Amino acid sequence: MPIAVKSVSDSEFDTWSDAVSVGFLHYEKRGQGDFRRLMWEEGISQGRVLGGFDGEQIVGTHATFHTDLTVPGGAALGVGAVTAVTVQATHRRRGILKGLMALGLRQSAERGEAASILIPSEWPIYGRFGYGPATEEAMVQIDATAAALRAPLPGTVELIGAEQWCEEMPAVYDRIRTTTPGAIERPLWRWRMDAGLVRPAGRPEDKSTMFAVLRDEAGIIRGSASYQAKSAGERVGFTPNTTLSASVLAETPAVRARLMQFLWEQDWVVRVDVETERADAAWRLFMSNPRAARQSDRYDTLWLRVLDASAALSARTYQSEGRIVLSVRDEGGPADGVYALEGGPAGATVKRTTESPDLTLPVQSLGSMLLGGYAPSLLVSADLVTEERHGALAVADRMFKTPTQPFAPTWF
């Protein structure tokens, strides 16, 4: 029987939810359809929750939601965010993923979304669908016994409850988002879920997470740290060694450094592990010995697939004034064509053209370049971009360069 790829109805959603759990090897999360419905009610009604059906059995899953993605310059680009992509182990290599991705991308293009984004579990999968890696991030491990700041930093740290954290932090995050290429919107239900206030039926309340915020001299919250404590193993006499596992949101590197100091200066703490960190980690420069905070891991996060090249390229600003002609190869896809890009710090215009290209690149490389995370010259060195006119690469590097690396603080 051929596999049918189609939208999932409301009555089929619980089965789809279980298929997601099985596909991600989270077998214990089966039966959480009511909980997941909170995230996908709108997607179900829009037909953007997709399934691969073998008869009545759902053997593949895929879902997309609309969000705004911040691009260099601070503008919001409307994109489709893809998540919950799985194929059952019993149905591999039968074209199910291909069918799901094709339908999802077609829906995004029809809705006028300029790009599609996702966070892949594995590198090799999504390049064949036109996605390119666009952001990187790191995990940081801090030796609390050696960490210190060069000089005192302003701000007062305050512990608050989960409810207050959910009320206060969305405004802080929105300020962070508008200045962070790679950031997307974060709805209220996501804050409440992260705080443990919304959870599957029957799951007891988890009180292991603490919430700290940093207020500036005017009393305005500028960042937060949510963290948990666990034993680090050996004791010093009868005093336990403790590791904190933390997630930090901060408007500036200085705010981040001050929150890190709060974490590493707690009694008994010998190590702080921080997830979802910027790859450039400028906050470490506030430390007297930045080696006390090392990257324990670094990896790609957000991948981007351009659907409307003119809209995507014209949405952002460029570091320096310039004009460059790009030939984008997207065989059978909506971004295929030659584009004349003229832009600078004040904005950009993009038009299709019949001119000879300065650079030729696959749509995957355009996705990598768009947010400034991957320089054109880096991609040329890996044979992922071709310079057709001498000197064009230097122009592209100057234009696409961004003051800081893009960063995706919200996973989905």
Q: Residue 123 and residue 127: Cα distance in Å, rounded? A: 8
> Of 13, 53, 126, 211, which is the active-site residue?
126
> Which of 56, 5, 52, 8 has its CA nearest to residue 33?
8
| Active-site entry in 129, 262, 407, 412 | 412
Q: Active-site residue 227, yes or no? A: no
**Residue 98 backbone phi and psi in degrees, to 5:** -60, -45
Q: Which residues contact 29 (CB under 8 A, 6 or more apart)?
A: 21, 200
User: How are strands ordered across the β-sheet holding 49-54?
Assistant: 4-7, 49-54, 57-70, 76-87, 115-118, 303-306, 132-133
Confirm whether 412 is a catalytic residue.
yes
Residue spans of alpha helices (H) in 179-275: 188-194, 253-264
Taking the C-alpha atoms of residue 253 and residue 99, their distance in angstroms, rounded to an integer, is 43
Give the type of residue at 367: G
Across 121-268, the runs of DSSP E, i.e. the strands, are: 132-133, 136-143, 156-160, 210-215, 221-236, 239-250
Name the residue with tokens 């930045």: 290
The two structure tokens encoding residue 40:
């996908």
List CB contacts of 189: < 8 A, sequence separation 6 or more: 38, 39, 198
Torsion of CA 142, 288, 222, 213, to 10 degrees: 50
Residue (of 305, 250, 281) closest to 119 by Cα position: 305
Please tell me the distance from the alpha carbon of residue 215 to that of residue 169, in angstroms, as a whole number. 12
Residues 6+ apart with CB under 8 A from 348: 313, 314, 316, 317, 318, 341, 342
Query: Hey, what are 342's tokens?
Result: 């003229």
Instruction: Give the sheet arrangement for strand 347-352, strand by strand.
Output: 347-352, 337-344, 322-329, 359-362, 386-387
- Please, are residues 51 and 16 in contact by the beta-carbon 8 Å criterion? yes
Both tokens assigned to 193: 């879920």
Catalytic residues: 126, 412
